[in-house]
Structure 1
Amino acid sequence: MPTTAEFEHMLRGASLRVTRPRVAVLSAVHHHPHADTSAIISAVREDLGEVSHQAVYDILRALTVAGLVRCIEPPGSVARYEARVGDNHHHIVCRACGAIADVDCAVGSAPCLTPSDDHGFVIDEAEVVYRGLCPSCSTTTATTDTRKDSRV
């Protein structure tokens, strides 16, 4: 996990002024991958005390534009933020609890990542969202299903 000095260096490297709220937001995103804005606001307030919602939204926007964080919007979910930037990774989302995990790019033959018609676009990214049940929910579901079967 980066240190405060490293967060400051990242901000300067992106030509952003170093402020305590910016460092706190960047730190929160690093410490809470795939967190939504509410969770980031809570983490920042634990660190700094009172910070406005708008300030955090503005900082997240600036950090996203600068390429220091990435905003993802899985279908059916609010926007979430992560510090893993600069690669074309994907996500897997639990249908039951909403947990999100990173997945490296698809390997092998992946024709679904090559569009049938690029409409003249220069494509530099493909986003895939895998859906399923996380280990915890799949265990819970299996246990629940077993109980249902035994009552029949």
Structure 2
Amino acid sequence: MTSTAASAATTDKWSAQLRAHGRRVTKQRLAVLDAVDHSPHADAEEVAAIVRTTLPDISLQSVYVVLTDLTDTGLLRRIEPPHSPARYETRVNDNHHHAICTGCGRIEDVDCAVGHAPCLTPSDTHGMNIQIADVLYQGLCSDCAAKASAAQRP
């Protein structure tokens, strides 16, 4: 499949999903979805920079509005790492988790440990029907661990 055909197929997929969620298909929504799809875990400013390669006049505020709308509809997932701006991804509805490097901030997806939602069984549900468990693993990636180890050598 050529990149033009792949791009058209992706546009068709996002267009169908927007319509299924009762949203108009706009170039701004398609550009934001494409940006987040190609740069998972990007923050709003990173998304805006990517979108501006095709829509140079889009404002950061417009990107925020689209990100919020697409998150509210369930087409995007918003994650909020500690000490970091919100990040966005198109991987939704599978209850995966995230591992974050405390050194460089790299974020990686971690599949559900059990294989079915909500992946964890709480000790007390407090009468709630638990649907999602959100686990955040934090540590050093191999690159940061190697740098830390090299820095400790005499």
What's the TM-score, normalizing by structure 2?
Answer: 0.86
Partner of 2:3: none
Residue 27 of structure 1 aligns with an amino acid whose one-letter code is D
Partner of 2:63: 56
Which structure 2 residues correspond to residues 1-152 of structure 1 after superposition, within 5 A?
3-107=10-114, 113-146=120-153, 150=154
Residue 121 of structure 2 aligns with an amino acid whose one-letter code is T
| Number of residue-to-residue matches in the alignment | 144
Shift of 1:10: 2.0
Identity %, equivalent residues: 51
CA distance, structure 1, for counterparts of residue 45 and residue 98 of structure 2 = 20
Range with bigger deviation, 37-46 or 9-18: 9-18
Aligned-residue CA RMSD in angstroms?
1.8
Task: Please give the per-residue CA displacement for 1:75-124, whole angstroms capped at 9, x wherever unaligned.
Answer: 2221100010011100000010000000011249xxx9322221111110
Residue 122 of structure 2 aligns with an amino acid whose one-letter code is P
Structure label with greater radius of gyration: 1
